[in-house]
Amino acid sequence: MRKNDYLTVRNFGCRLNALDGDHIRDAADKAGLAQATIINSCAVTAEAVKQARQAVRKAAKAKPKTPIIVTGCAAQTDGDAFAAMPEVSQVLGNEEKFLAASYASQNTHQAETLENAKAVQVSDIMEITRAVPRSNVPQQSRARAFVQVQTGCDHRCTFCIIPFGRGNSRSTPIMEVVKNCQTLVSSGHREIVLTGVDITSWGGDLEGHEQDGLGALVSAILENTPALERLRLSSVDAVELDAKLLERVVLDKRVMPHLHLSLQAGDDMILKRMKRRHTREDAITFCHEMKAKRPDMVFGADIIAGFPTETDEMFQNSLKLVEECQIVWLHVFPFSPRPDTPAAKMPQLSGETIRERAKLLRAAGDKVRQEWLETQIGTTVKGLIEKPGQARSETFAMIDISNEEQEAMSVGEIYNFDITGHDGTKLIGKRIA
């Protein structure tokens, strides 16, 4: 049995949380924590918080004598609610979860201190002004490695609770990011995904880098890590993309032709009430211009269904945006009021209306995706093997591989595939010998 098989870390939410989970395990290992279930929660929606609470109850039922620790954004924003759950042994904030000392009291050799450890250990995350360096933990479980470039957010979109879970924007210094990328590539990773809460804000809090922007960071990674074959950006705010970054995305084929856009809505009035920083026309123009400059570019996007005050006409603008921007990888979020946010105080739509609009948005996304998948039949694409039988294309499409070919391909390697079909969601490919 490998070390800490009895230590379980369950991550909810974004890629940044998934990476945080690796650091959580590392801190718990250093503390000598032998048995525990750690719930690394998300707070972006009420459903996400509900899932974290359900995970607590399931863990308690499955392992009644094992300590349960709750951390992550939901713990940061509402730690007292989790502390009130009888199943929970400890609640840690988003900074405390990285400290080995936070887990020391839960060590099985100190089981008598459990009650004393019950107090919520959550500091004021808004007081943190610099990104805390993290140890470079191995990512053997991932074919595509994640690299955190920043955390937190300086914007205050009216629907969003995440700044109160993650704090203000804090950037990882440029050479620390580069070194991390070099280490991961040296260990065999061929694709790196840059992650954060608001990665297009990178550099604004770093002395001497205020004007550099994310493009400077991406350029430094590519220039100093020549062996890196694929660099992918996580969710970006298109209105904040700097000229140097756009040039890299268009001209450097090592930057993947896939951008996930934080659009949120397609109606100008709703965008204004959300306190977003772009207009409907900005989004359409950006997508069309990027597609013209790099024809293989594929977009994903987040859109909220049923934002407060959204009329049928306003919703139609969001619905049409899916087609107008050709959003292949659409994420639909039924609106969920988050405590103490301005949007929670606005006139709310009925649950039925929200669910119906979410359904219509997903249908629109399905149509665009299937039309795009059809265009891929007969093409040859590069796929990185994520697990036996499945590869990830440069455009973020999953490729299903026939059973006969699986044994000849290694996880983490890149192969060429002829695309022979699709199933409405994934491409079907045959490896080219």
Structural domain boundaries in the chain:
7-123, 257-373, 380-431
pLDDT at 105 over 90: no
pTM for this prediction: 0.91
Least confident piece of the model among 114-118, 154-158, 377-381: 114-118
Cβ atoms of 381 and 401 within 8 Å: the answer is no
Which CATH number, 2.10.109.10, 3.30.750.200, 3.20.20.150, 1.20.1260.10, labels domain 257-373? Answer: 3.30.750.200
Phi first, then psi: give them for residue 128, nearest 5 degrees: -85, 125
Q: Return the higher-pLDDT residue of 432 and 403.
A: 432
Instruction: Name the band, by pLDDT with cuts 50, 70 and 90, for residue 141.
Output: confident
pLDDT at 268: 98
Please tell me the class of the 380-431 domain.
Answer: mainly beta
pLDDT at 210: 62
Residue for token digits 């945006």? 321
4 DSSP assignment: T
Cβ atoms of 200 and 214 within 8 Å: the answer is yes
List the structure tokens of 103. 């887990």
Q: DSSP E strands: which ranges in 24-94? A: 36-41, 68-72, 90-92
Share of residues in the chain with pLDDT > 90 (%): 77
List the structure tokens of 140. 């053997």
Q: Tell me how far the alpha carbon of residue 2 is from its chain's centroid.
A: 29
pLDDT digit string (tens) for 220-248? Answer: 999 999 999 999 999 999 989 999 999 99
Q: Return the higher-pLDDT residue of 58 and 135.
A: 58
The residue-averaged pLDDT of 376-388 equals 95
Cβ atoms of 249 and 290 within 8 Å: the answer is yes
Helices (H), 127-169: 162-166
Strand partners, 146: 193
**Segment holding 178, helix H or strand E:** helix 174-186
Instruction: Name the band, by pLDDT with cuts 50, 70 and 90, for residue 397.
Output: very high
The residue-averaged pLDDT of 372-387 equals 96
Residue for token digits 């490919």? 429
pLDDT at 282: 97
Which sign does the torsion angle of CA 318, 167, 101, 140 carry?
positive
Q: How far apart are CA 114 and CA 204, in angstroms?
A: 42
Tell me whether strands 414-422 and 380-387 are parallel, antiparallel or unpaired: antiparallel
Instruction: Name the band, by pLDDT with cuts 50, 70 and 90, for residue 111.
Output: very low
Cβ atoms of 19 and 148 within 8 Å: the answer is yes
Q: How far apart are CA 333 and CA 8, in angstroms?
A: 28
Q: Tell me how far the alpha carbon of residue 41 is from its chain's centroid.
A: 13
- The CATH architecture assigned to 7-123 reads 3-Layer(aba) Sandwich (3.40)
Q: How far apart are CA 23 and CA 100, in angstroms?
A: 10
Instruction: Name the band, by pLDDT with cuts 50, 70 and 90, for residue 118.
Output: low
Residue for token digits 């590519």? 222
Q: Number of C-alpha atoms within 13 angstroms, CB side, residue 161? A: 23
Q: How far apart are CA 263 and CA 235, in angstroms?
A: 10
Question: Nearest 10 degrees: CA dihedral of 410, 411, 413, 414?
Answer: 100
Cβ atoms of 339 and 164 within 8 Å: the answer is no
255 DSSP assignment: B
Total H helices, total E strands in the chain: 13, 18
Q: How far apart are CA 105 and CA 125, in angstroms?
A: 22
Instruction: Name the band, by pLDDT with cuts 50, 70 and 90, for residue 130.
Output: confident
Phi first, then psi: give them for residue 400, nearest 5 degrees: -80, 135
Other CB atoms within 10 A of residue 359 CB: 13
List the structure tokens of 428. 């079907």
Q: How far apart are CA 192 and CA 413, in angstroms?
A: 13
Strand partners, 399: 391, 427
Per the document, the length of the chain is 433
Instruction: Name the band, by pLDDT with cuts 50, 70 and 90, for residue 109.
Output: very low
Q: How far apart are CA 37 and CA 10, in angstroms?
A: 8
Instruction: Name the band, by pLDDT with cuts 50, 70 and 90, for residue 207.
Output: confident
List the structure tokens of 395. 């455009």
Q: How far apart are CA 35 and CA 67, in angstroms?
A: 7
Max mean pLDDT among 100-114, 198-212, 363-377, 406-420 falls in 363-377
Least confident piece of the model among 84-88, 261-265, 402-406: 402-406
Residue for token digits 């990185």? 384
Closest Cα partner for 197 from 145, 229, 240, 230?
240
